[in-house]
Amino acid sequence: MNYNNKLKEKKNSFLKKENIFIFLIILFCVFLDRYTKNEVISNFSENVFFINNFINIDLIWNTGIGFGFLSTESSLFYNLVSALVGVVIIVLCYFTIISEVADKLIYAIIIGGAIGNFYDRLIFNAVPDFIDLHYDRYHWFTFNVADIFITLGIIIFLTNEFLKNK
């Protein structure tokens, strides 16, 4: 098979219905994340909004990675982490293209969340986190919708891999 035929075959496989569906899932995750962040930034930036005894809306700006880990004032470290996040998104996109349908769905959820947070890192130099889960005085890390997608995708991925290998 010559090079042109291989290129056409790859192009045709990229435009499969399943890949378009996966792309729409990524867009949905990014859209839902952007929508919730824009609503919170516009309406709840001043005060904590009490929902019930277990959840509040409390906007904080996270300069670290997931759940505020590695937060720093160093722009060099922040930019290195941001570049690493960008590379991870590109690698996940590659794995999404070459994977089976079930794995594509898992990667799509992770990519959608990662793009949402990556966008904020580039535009705001921080990620707006606002979901504050708590019980009494004990608070979990404040997070956002993108973090939910990333965490859910990783849990499903690990569970899937564990069940495959069992």
Question: Token pair 């930036």 is at which residue?
Answer: 45
Q: Select which of 33, 58, 120, 147 is catalytic.
A: 147
Cα separation, 162 vs 133, in Å, equals 29
Q: Which of 120, 129, 132, 136 is catalytic?
A: 129
Q: Is 136 a catalytic residue?
A: no
Secondary structure in 3-state letters for 94-154: HHHHHCCHHHHHHHHHHHHHHHHHHHHHHHHCCEEEEEEEEECCEECCCECHHHHHHHHHH
* CA separation, residue 132 to residues 18, 49, 103, 152 (Å): 36, 10, 30, 17
Whether 33 sits among the annotated catalytic residues: the reply is no
Active site residues: 129, 147
